[in-house]
Amino acid sequence: MPSPPPPGAAVKVCFITVGATASFHLLIQSILEDEFLLALRRLDFTHLLIQFGKDGQSLWEAFQSRCPPGSEGRHGLEIDGFDFNQAGLDAEMRLTRASPSEGRTGGLIISHAGSGSILGALRLGVPLVVVPNPTLKDNHQEELAQELQKQGYVVASDYRGIASALDRAEGLRAQILAWPPVRGVSQRRQRTLEDVMSDELGFLD
C-alpha cells in the first residue's frame, strides 16, 4: 500500500477522454482497475480525471459505490469523472499542463484515437497515450495511432496494456515534439492550403 502523497507535493493530473460519440467501456474498465491506479500512484500522479462519455455513467457509478472517495481502493488518488463537456475539453486538458504558479507539474492525457483530442493534446505538448477503440467499425484509428507513435508524437497502446503504457509516456516527456511540425527543407516544396486555393482561384501573377 503506497503512502498518501506528502502535503504540498505538486499536483499531477492524468486526464482520460473517450470522446462524445462512441462509448468505450473497455478503456474505462481497465483504467479503474487496481493495476492502473497503482501504476499512476507509482509515477507520482495525484489526480485522475475521467471523461467517460454518454454510456459510461453506469461504470462510473459502480466504481463510486465500490470505492467511495477516501477508500483504500482509490490508492490515495483524487478521482473524478464527468460524462461530457459541451463546451469542449480544452479546460480539462489544460489541467495536465505544468503550471508552477498553480502548483501543478506536467501530467498526462489518455485518449481514444479521435482526431480532436489527439490534436488538442499535441498542441498542449503534454505526453499522450492513444488507445484505439477496437469496437468501432472501419477502424482507421489504429493506423493513425501507429503512425503517430512511429513518428514519436504519441504512445499507442491497447486498452489492456494501458498500465505499462504509462511508463513509455513518461519517457516521451523528456523529448516531446513540437506541434504542428515545422516544415523541413524537404517539405518546402509542399503546397500549403493557401497555395492550393490560390491555384484554383487563378490569380494573375
Partner 1 sequence: MESWLSWSSLFWAATFATVACLSTIIILMYALAKSQNSQVPQWRSRNTPIHLLVVLGSGGHTAEMFSMLRRMKLDPSKFTHRTYVVSSGDNFSATKAVEFETTDLSKKLNTNEKPASTGSYSIVTVPRARRVHQSFLTAPFSTIQSFWSCLLVLRGLHPDQQSLISSRLRSPYPDIILTNGPATAVCVILAARLLRLWFFLCGVFSVGRGTRPGKPAPSDSQLRTIFVESWARVKTLSLSGKLLLPFADRFLVQWSGLEGKKAWPGMRETEYVGPLVD
Closest approach of partner 1 to the CB of residue 155, in Å: 17
Could you tell me the sign of the dihedral formed by the alpha carbons of 165, 168, 174, 179, in that order? negative
Which one of the spans 8-16, 53-61, 107-115, 164-172 is the region binding partner 1 (CB under 8 A)?
Answer: 107-115
| 191 sits near partner 1 (criterion: CB under 8 A) | yes
Closest approach of partner 1 to the CB of residue 71, in Å: 36
Closest approach of partner 1 to the CB of residue 203, in Å: 5
Among 141, 154, 157, 162, binds partner 1 (CB under 8 A): 141
Among 10, 11, 20, 98, binds partner 1 (CB under 8 A): 20
Whether residue 106 contacts residue 96, with contact meaning beta carbons closer than 8 Å, is answered with: yes
Question: β-strand 104-112 against 11-17: which pairing, if any?
Answer: parallel
Among 72, 137, 180, 185, binds partner 1 (CB under 8 A): 180
Q: Rounded to an integer, what distance in angstroms lies between the CA atom of residue 2 and that of residue 6?
A: 11
Candidates 125, 141, 108, 160; CA nearest to 19 is: 141
Collapsing DSSP to helix, strand or coil, 111 comes out as: strand
Could you tell me the sign of the dihedral formed by the alpha carbons of 48, 40, 163, 123, in that order? positive
**Residue ranges binding partner 1 (CB under 8 A):** 20-21, 113-116, 119, 123, 140-141, 143-144, 146-147, 179-181, 183, 187, 190-194, 196-197, 199-205
